[in-house]
């Protein structure tokens, strides 16, 4: 029942059209049966009156009597043509109405999925493979929508046509009605067991396709790396194993599905044959007219074929239910609340008080009892080995991660009490891996501040040492950067993301190892330009370069989630520890 509620919920706001299509389906079935009845009357009019039953005579009299109809046979052509035209108009209206509902549901469902995924906490999104999210937002949505619009409509059609047709058969001849359904229970049992196997094979095929899709996505994302390592041949051969696996599952699924549909034809045609033979026998015995024989055979066809299709609909139902489960896995995850909280004026005074943090799926604390005070306008360089907790430390300031123990005070206010949207507006980060959207340079720059003036954009690009590079392009700031900034070099992308962050004029600025992608000269130019706004900006620079760290007001050194050293460059190079060792190594290399 919960599944049906979930599907029914998707039609909210469009139920008039949704159920209207069912009404038009009923109308089309009624018109189709009416056309068959008119044809039956025509046959009965032209047949021997001695073979006519009371019902046949009653129908003929309804149309004006046998003599009148024989004299005006064109009436049948007009009526059948009129019914065909009306039914065509009804079907066209139904399909238009159904298509309108389908496209609207597709738009709204995918928008809701995208909206929910974007609003999930960073930790949740990071934990779900992107391939699975993509599969859910596209393939699962399509399967569910197709069932809700097309398969449910087919179920409704089957209900109407079987109910009305069987009712008419009983009225015509209970013997033929009984003969028409004699094999249907056997077909139902046969379909139930075989379709279960078809469903299992389909699911395996679907999973195999998902793995293949994820592999394609992975290689497209890493195309630069593949080419850098001259790894094309290996990746093609590796991808071939995914294709072979999908091909194997697909063929097995299609073979069994084809066997099912082919074998059920035996039951369908057998049932039609039984109904036809029973009708012929009754016609020879004079129990029914020739018109009744025609109509009963036609109704038997109208009953058997849709019933046979029900098994396939039930198979699609299983797929739809699986899709609902995967979609609900996303919708059941609570979205991140970025609107609730305080919105204090932020200047950049930060205090870490015994802060500890551990990932949900981890068993070791990443940060342990961190104590640190950072004054407004101070520049803090952060150095440490890979995995020592540097990025986690700075990411807590934007609450991408929430600390488990202790307190962080921002200008005297507990960080967790500050509205996330307000916090992220005032704490700007330049991430370790630069990402640009497939837009123009100016569109990417204005993402951080849509109201930024041309002067602010220019000041940010000059500070990031990227302005001269941009104006050297033929289209300047209107140059498209391609997907993920593929048309730019790594250093150009990084400088562009730095400029994008600077446009925001946030009082707290974080460089998460983002200066490592630029050359030393550019690094110096950017840091020199940043000094102009240093008094009004609290800056954190995560880096591996001593040359980048040494000009900071203070340097903190992380080891195993603990701050082991804290001081200026001059102080730390005289202390035994990681900083001194790194300084000596880099000095020798230079």
Domain boundaries 2-331, corresponding CATH code: 1.20.1560.10
Burial of 195 (0-12, 13-18, 19+ CB in 10 A): buried
Secondary structure letter of residue 590 according to DSSP: -
Residue-level pLDDT at 371: 92
pLDDT tens digits, 417-429? 999 888 888 888 8
In angstroms, what CA-CA distances link 269 with 170, 258, 265, 288, 292?
Answer: 21, 17, 6, 22, 20
Residue-level pLDDT at 89: 95
Domain extents in the chain? 2-331, 350-589
What string of DSSP letters covers 347-369? ---EEEEEEEE--TT-SS-SEEE
Residue-level pLDDT at 414: 92
Secondary structure letter of residue 381 according to DSSP: E
Residue-level pLDDT at 534: 59
Cα separation of 262 and 113, whole Å?
39
Angle, CA 439 vertex, CA 433 and CA 442 arms, to 5°: 90
- Closest by CA to 209, choosing from 151, 131, 127, is 131
Secondary structure letter of residue 415 according to DSSP: G
- Closest by CA to 401, choosing from 171, 197, 168, 121, is 121
Place of tokens 């940060």: 367
Residue-level pLDDT at 350: 92
Within 13 Å and on the Cβ side, how many CA atoms surround 315? 23
Which residue(s) pair with 541 in the sheet?
381, 511
Domain boundaries 350-589, corresponding CATH code: 3.40.50.300
Contact between 469 and 492 (Cβ < 8 Å): yes
Residue-level pLDDT at 485: 60
One fold for both 2-331 and 350-589?
no
Residue-level pLDDT at 86: 94
Cα separation of 209 and 203, whole Å?
10
- pTM recorded for the entire structure: 0.69
Which residue(s) pair with 342 in the sheet?
418
Beta-strand ranges (E) seen in 532-579 are 538-542, 554-559, 562-567
Where the chain has pLDDT below 70, the residues are 1-6, 48-56, 59, 63, 129-131, 221, 224-225, 228-229, 311, 315, 318, 432, 482-487, 514-535, 589-590
């Amino acid at each position: 029942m919960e599944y049906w509620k979930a599907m029914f919920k998707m039609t909210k706001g469009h139920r008039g059209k949704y159920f209207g299509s069912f009404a038009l389906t009923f109308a089309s079935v009624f018109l189709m049966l009416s056309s068959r009845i008119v044809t039956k009357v025509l046959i009965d009019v032209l047949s021997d009156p001695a073979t006519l039953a009371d019902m046949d005579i009653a129908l003929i009299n309804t149309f004006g009597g046998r003599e009148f109809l024989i004299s005006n046979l064109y009436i049948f052509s007009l009526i059948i043509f009129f019914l065909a035209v009306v039914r065509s108009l009804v079907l066209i209206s139904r399909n238009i109405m159904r298509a309108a509902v389908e496209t609207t549901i597709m738009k709204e469902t995918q928008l809701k999925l995208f909206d929910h995924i974007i609003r999930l906490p960073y930790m949740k999104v990071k934990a779900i493979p992107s391939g699975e999210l993509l599969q859910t937002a596209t393939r699962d949505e399509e399967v569910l929508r197709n069932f809700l619009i097309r398969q449910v409509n087919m179920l409704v059609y089957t209900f109407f046509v079987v109910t009305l047709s069987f009712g008419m058969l009983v009225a015509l001849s209970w013997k033929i009605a009984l003969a028409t359904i004699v094999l249907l229970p056997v077909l139902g049992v046969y379909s139930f067991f075989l379709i279960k196997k078809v469903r299992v094979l389909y699911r395996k095929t679907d999973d195999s396709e998902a793995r293949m899709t994820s592999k394609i996505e992975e290689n497209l994302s890493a195309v630069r790396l593949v080419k850098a390592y001259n790894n094309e041949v290996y990746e093609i051969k590796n991808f071939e194993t995914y294709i072979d696996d999908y091909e194997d599952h697909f063929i097995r699924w299609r073979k069994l599905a084809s066997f099912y549909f082919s074998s059920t034809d035996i039951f369908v045609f057998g049932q039609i044959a039984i109904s036809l033979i029973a009708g012929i026998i009754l016609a020879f015995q004079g129990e029914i007219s020739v018109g009744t024989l025609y109509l009963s055979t036609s109704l038997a066809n109208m009953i058997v074929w849709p019933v046979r299709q029900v098994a396939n609909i039930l198979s699609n139902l299983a797929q739809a239910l699986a899709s609902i489960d995967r979609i609900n896995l996303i919708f059941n995850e609570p979205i991140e609340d970025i609107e609730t909280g305080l919105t204090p004026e932020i200047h950049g005074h930060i205090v870490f008080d015994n802060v500890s943090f551990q990932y949900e799926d981890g068993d070791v604390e990443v940060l342990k009892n961190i104590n640190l005070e950072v004054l407004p306008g101070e520049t803090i360089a952060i150095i440490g080995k890979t995995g020592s907790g540097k990025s986690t430390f700075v990411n807590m300031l934007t609450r991408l991660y929430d600390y488990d123990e202790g307190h962080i005070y921002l200008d005297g206010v507990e960080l967790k009490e500050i509205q996330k949207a307000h916090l992220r507006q005032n704490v700007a980060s330049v991430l370790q891996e630069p990402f640009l959207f497939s837009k123009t340079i100016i569109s990417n720059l204005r993402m951080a501040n849509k109201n930024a003036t041309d002067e602010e954009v220019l000041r940010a690009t000059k500070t990031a040492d990227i302005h001269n590079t941009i104006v050297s392009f033929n289209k300047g700031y209107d140059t498209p950067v391609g997907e993920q900034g593929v048309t730019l070099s790594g250093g150009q992308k990084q400088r562009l993301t730095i400029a994008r962050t600077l446009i925001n004029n946030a009082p707290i600025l974080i460089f998460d190892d983002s200066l490592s992608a630029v050359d030393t000269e550019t690094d110096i130019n950017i840091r020199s330009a940043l000094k102009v706004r240093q008094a009004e900006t609290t800056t954190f620079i995560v880096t591996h370069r001593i040359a980048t760290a040494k000009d900071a007001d203070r340097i903190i050194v992380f080891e195993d989630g603990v701050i082991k050293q804290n001081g200026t460059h001059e102080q730390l190079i005289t202390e035994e520890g990681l900083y001194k060792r790194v300084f000596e190594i880099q000095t020798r290399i230079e």
